[in-house]
Structure 1
Amino acid sequence: MTDPGRALSTPLDAAPDWGAFARAGEWRRALAAARVTGAPLEISEVLERVVGVQEAVRARRYPQARRAWSQLEGALEAADSGGRIGEAALLRSLVRHDALGKALSALEDLGSGIGGETEPEALRARLAPAAQHPFTQAEALNLIGVLHALRGEAHAARAVFEEALLSDPGHYRAVTNIGNLELEAGQPALAEARYREVLRLNPDYDGAYHNLGVALRRQGKVHESVGAIRRAQRLSMKRSQEEAREDLREQFRQGGMWRSLRWVLVVALLLLLFLIMRGLGG
């Protein structure tokens, strides 16, 4: 997935500066610059964790964002202990780790959908910690825009989605939602353009392919529509499998599943020994 972000010029004869990209909020470019210039491993690991948080939030995968956030603190400590005090201090000032944790909590507490809120201002109040952090601001605005859309307030919804994109131009779900407004307004060609924009940002987003299929069908482009929807189905299955594997790995990391599996193996071994001994005794 690309991260278009904001324009940031770099002289052609100068090495890219990961710090400049980070200050501009261009975290994927900061990571790429760190790798290209051979920045210390500790710095690259911090940047990787930041990108992980950002991508998980964009995808509305809050548990994954939380895991990346918890790993981020360890990466920052490693940068401190590795003698990268100045660079680590810069990253800490930009990341605001504690505030990010509160922002993620605000998103997680909503659960699915709009979390029972029916008034935009009430939802804004609940999402205030998320709206105040640059990594989660666009997601908070996107959720508020969704509530406006559900209330039939298309103009207000579009304005908030556009605001979300000003905060994070790579927030592809906000672009998708603008496309949904176009589709509901009877403008399938405009919606198609939005969905194709989403797929430039994230070529593996199954939701964009599905909605693109709907927009194409409404324009009479049946063959293209079927292809898009089939692609959406394949990507949805792939995503579900990846999420299941990630959940399994997390359970193994936490040790709970391994302890359960260990007890199952012990019981099975004892049963096998019992059967062997009984067979020998007979």
Structure 2
Amino acid sequence: MILSCNSHEVTFSPSHPLAPSLPHPLPPSPPLLTQSLPSLKPTQPAALEKLNQGLALIQEGKLPEAIAAFREAAELNPQLAPAHYNLGLALRQTGELQAAADAFYQATQADPNFALAFANLGAALLEGNNLEQAAAYLSKAIELDPDLGVAHYNYGLALSELGKLEEAI
């Protein structure tokens, strides 16, 4: 049984089973701050491994498993834009437009120059009839990549639906 404990010394009862094997007095323990473990950070390789696993699962037609792998990759490394982007594509295939839009949005936050993420975010919003936001994100996609045909097409559709025919042409 421990008799006393303070920040510098631990004293055991002489009848404690460990007492004979411990030096007397015990060496002082370092302050608690130096004993704290460093925060663990997910590794980039683990996130990339999950991303690649998700891509392979998509090729095998295993959409639910791919979604789980993409989610895990995004959790392991929130700055891995392709994980969010591919999650969005997979969710969109299942008809989960809001979740897909959220994933595409996360991809744009992780990489503000990811034109395809902006284009797919705009497309998901267009499909969900959120026309103003769709037009804004599609415009951003075109700004980032003027040659992105699908963004131009969907931007024209959004503007047309908004009654902005002159701009749509």
**TM-score interval, normalised by the smaller of the two chains:** 0.5 to 0.7
Q: Indicate whether 1:106 and 2:52 are aligned.
A: yes
Q: Secondary structure at the match of 2:163?
A: coil
Distance 1:194 1:126 in 2: 23
Residues 92-137 of structure 1 show CA distances to partners (whole Å, capped at 9, x for unaligned) of xxxx8xx59x66x9289549xx431321x543427867986788x2
**Residue 125 (structure 1) aligned to one of 69, 86, 91:** 69
Aligned equivalent of 1:48: none
Q: How does 1:219-230 map to 2 (within 5 A)?
A: 219-226=162-169
Distance 1:197 1:225 in 2: 15
Residues 149-178 of structure 1 show CA distances to partners (whole Å, capped at 9, x for unaligned) of 222222222222222223212222222222
Residues 226-268 of structure 1 show CA distances to partners (whole Å, capped at 9, x for unaligned) of 3xxxxxxxxxxxxxxxxxxxxxxxxxxxxxxxxxxxxxxxxxx
Aligned equivalent of 1:212: 155
Distance 2:122 2:99 in 1: 15
Equivalent residues of 2:70, 2:84 under 8 A apart: no
Instruction: Look up the equivalent residue of 2:156 and give its one-letter code.
Output: G
**Residue 194 (structure 1) aligned to one of 118, 133, 137:** 137
Q: How does 1:18-29 map to 2 (within 5 A)?
A: none
Structure number, greater radius of gyration:
2
Equivalent residues of 2:159, 2:165 under 8 A apart: yes
Gaps of 5+ in 1: 1-95, 227-282
Q: Secondary structure at the match of 1:207?
A: helix
Aligned equivalent of 1:171: 114
| Aligned residue pairs, count | 124
Cα RMSD after superposing both structures: 3.4
For residue 185 of structure 1, report the CA deviation from its aligned partner: 2.1
* TM-score, normalised with respect to structure 2: 0.56
Instruction: Look up the equivalent residue of 2:117 and give its one-letter code.
Output: A
Equivalent residues of 1:182, 1:190 under 8 A apart: yes
Distance 2:147 2:54 in 1: 24
Determine which structure has the larger helix proportion and give its number.
1
Instruction: Look up the equivalent residue of 2:52 and give its one-letter code.
Output: A
Percent identity between matched residues is 29
Determine which structure has the larger strand proportion and give its number.
2
Distance 1:179 1:140 in 2: 18
Distance 1:139 1:214 in 2: 26
Instruction: Look up the equivalent residue of 1:106 and give its one-letter code.
Output: N
Distance 1:127 1:161 in 2: 12
**Residue 160 (structure 1) aligned to one of 71, 90, 103:** 103
* TM-score, normalised with respect to structure 1: 0.36
Distance 1:174 1:189 in 2: 17
Equivalent residues of 2:53, 2:69 under 8 A apart: no
